[in-house]
Amino acid sequence: MDFDPTRRLRLLLPFATAAGLLLLLDAAVSQLMAGSQLDLGTSLNLPTPGYARFLALWMLYGSLAVAALTVGFVRWLERGDLQSRLSAAWIHGNDRKWVIYGSLFAFLIPAALRTFLLHGTPLTDDESAYRFMAQVLASGRVYADSPPLKLFFDNRFMINDGKMYSHFFVGWPALLVPGVWLGIPGFMNAIYSALTLPALFGVLRRLTSSAWARAGVLMYLSSPMLMVAAATETSHTSCVCALAWFTWLCLKSQDTDTPWWTHSLLATVFCVAFFIRPTSALGIGLPLLIWWLWGLRRGSGLRGLLAFAVPAIALAALFLTVNKLQTGSYFEVAYQRAFTYAEENGFRFSLWPTDFSGDAFTELQFGSLEHALAILGAALFRFNITFLGWPCSLLFALFAGRGTLRRVIELSFVSFLALHFFTNNVGIDTFAPMHYFELAWPLLILNICGLQKITENLTTASAAHQRWATALPAATLAALILTNIISYAPTRFAAINRVADNISQPQQVHRAAELGPSVIFVREPFIRYCRSKPTGGWVFSRPNNDPLLENPVLWVNHLSLEKNRLLMQRFPDRQGYVMAWDPRCRVVFLPLNELAPGAVPDAPISGIDEVQL
């Protein structure tokens, strides 16, 4: 269809306006903020000053760009029967293909991010502890024996009291075990990301329609927070996967022809989520469990309850048994033992400073309502931006509409916030507000429900402009996703890439130097973020070794040159090096046998003199 120049201009003007707004944003960031060097990696609560300045620019120019693109897409859809043809193709698409291809991309995107953005580098100290525990579990045990001269092997997030194990729950390490066996532990989260897609599609199709379930797939795949998390070895992606299948099974359990084993699977995946992140599983899962229990009255009844109880009791017993084997008490979890061990060990090489004077460790901070409200406000603000890379990721969820199932999902969102109300902090800021990550699951569902409800209301209320009203929500979603992909996500990814390059330097330098089998003595902090400034990071400690100390490179704590040489007597087939950072912020490996006494200061901790063969 031919257009006159005025109509062509009317069609192109919104897109040109959006491009101009994003160019203004890019110019401000590149010229006035030294490129994409956001000062991430340094805050546990509010955004850091540099990132806050970026957000101020992004929320103005990004919002205006979204508005312009929305107008452009609506006008574009008004051309002839284009909207009708696109709507028909979208509505009558093949669900099976969407699930298959969506799952494929849910794997490929984080796999590519891990390979090219992160270079296989951990972004947190947590990841090293998770991998160690996965290696331990792969050997059929829940702890390793502490190595001789244990002070060399003490580390953050680790208990090393004769038994060596991480202070994290064992759910995620257990799911990492297949990756350990196959030699691909770093890609297991990408696999669990792919496995989330079928459950996501199934839940959204039941709550909305196939067409909106496809929109949910695009929303999931375009989330920078979800995709980067799936590129790491943190626990959050697997927890979301378990919660997704738990939600789908809760919905499935309400069918009149539901087989009894559905309730057993439901209990199993909930317990898996609990094994990974207990408070997240309870926060999201409690409203769904209550709704499931209420539904048993008109369905499976006692048979369903018994089918649920058998795996639930078995896995609860397993949870308590793991506690007993690790800490010596059925009811003391590794998190609790971590503090008492650190106290016994003089807080050396631990999360707490050596002069720590506290008397308890907890992730919660009861007592100050004002502080709790402040943390909640900071969490929602950070989550609102980080989750989808939109100026407002919470917007559509406010219009999710009525219906029992939608109310239950809303209650899951509220229940999570209530259970985490006294959380100490929001969590690290590199790629997500980590302590609130699992809010992504109910919010993803509520956003799609909200978009569907808005579309229905606009279509009913605007009969005279039905084509325009029908296209508006979908056009807005497309504009939000496109603006994120063009502007927000690349800026965030650039900052993450800089810190990943910084963190990976020790391993890169060691490989390039071809030092062979080595013992590397590390002075804290392991990483100095002088190469990625102002972007910081959350890796401070050396990597954990494999439980049997068989890796070609062993990373250990530097104590003193004399004591280091004492350890080397146990590894006669390896060369010893002390890792250091030179004045130009480059990693260097100093041969231990060439260092004169006093060339490297002793570690500033007590107990060095107690180390002996």
Residue count (the chain):
613
- Tell how far CA 488 is from the center of its chain: 18
- β-sheet bridge partners, residue 588: 580
Question: In which band, very low, low, confident or very high, does the pLDDT at 534 lie, cut at 50, 70 and 90?
Answer: confident
User: What value does the mean pLDDT take over residues 563-581?
Assistant: 95
Looking at residue 61, its pLDDT comes to 95
Q: Is the pLDDT of residue 300 over 80?
A: no
Question: In which band, very low, low, confident or very high, does the pLDDT at 422 lie, cut at 50, 70 and 90?
Answer: confident
Question: In which band, very low, low, confident or very high, does the pLDDT at 79 lie, cut at 50, 70 and 90?
Answer: low
Which sign does the torsion angle of CA 581, 585, 588, 594 carry?
negative
Q: Is the pLDDT of residue 398 over 70?
A: yes
Question: How far, in Å, CA of 160 to CA of 132, rounded?
Answer: 13
Which residue matches tokens 């699930």?
A: 99
Radius of gyration for the alpha carbons in the chain, expressed in angstroms and rounded: 26
* Residues 455-480 as b or e (16 or more Cβ within 10 Å = b): beebbeeeeeeeebbbbbbbbbbbbb
- Evaluate the omega torsion of the peptide bond into residue 534 and state whether it is cis, within 30 degrees of 0: yes
Which residue matches tokens 């890439």?
A: 497
Question: How far, in Å, CA of 33 to CA of 137, rounded?
Answer: 46
| Top-confidence residue, 360 or 31 | 31
Dihedral angle of Cα 441, 445, 447, 451, to the nearest 10 degrees: 170
Question: How far, in Å, CA of 254 to CA of 292, rounded?
Answer: 7
Question: How far, in Å, CA of 484 to CA of 491, rounded?
Answer: 10
pLDDT in tens, 110-160: 999 999 999 999 999 999 999 999 999 999 999 999 999 999 999 999 999
**DSSP-based three-state secondary structure for 403:** coil
Question: How far, in Å, CA of 264 to CA of 267, rounded?
Answer: 5
Which residue matches tokens 């999570």?
A: 416
pLDDT in tens, 355-397: 666 555 555 555 678 888 999 999 999 999 999 999 999 989 9
Give the pair of three-digit tokens for residue 144: 């390793």
- Tell how far CA 291 is from the center of its chain: 28
DSSP letter string, 165-190: EESS-SHHHHHHHHHHHHT-GGGHHH
Question: How far, in Å, CA of 33 to CA of 134, rounded?
Answer: 41
% of the chain residues with pLDDT over 70:
92
pTM, 2 dp = 0.94
Contact (Cβ atoms closer than 8 angstroms) between residue 500 and residue 124: no
Question: How many Cα atoms sit within 13 Å of 350 on the Cβ side?
Answer: 24
Looking at residue 1, its pLDDT comes to 46
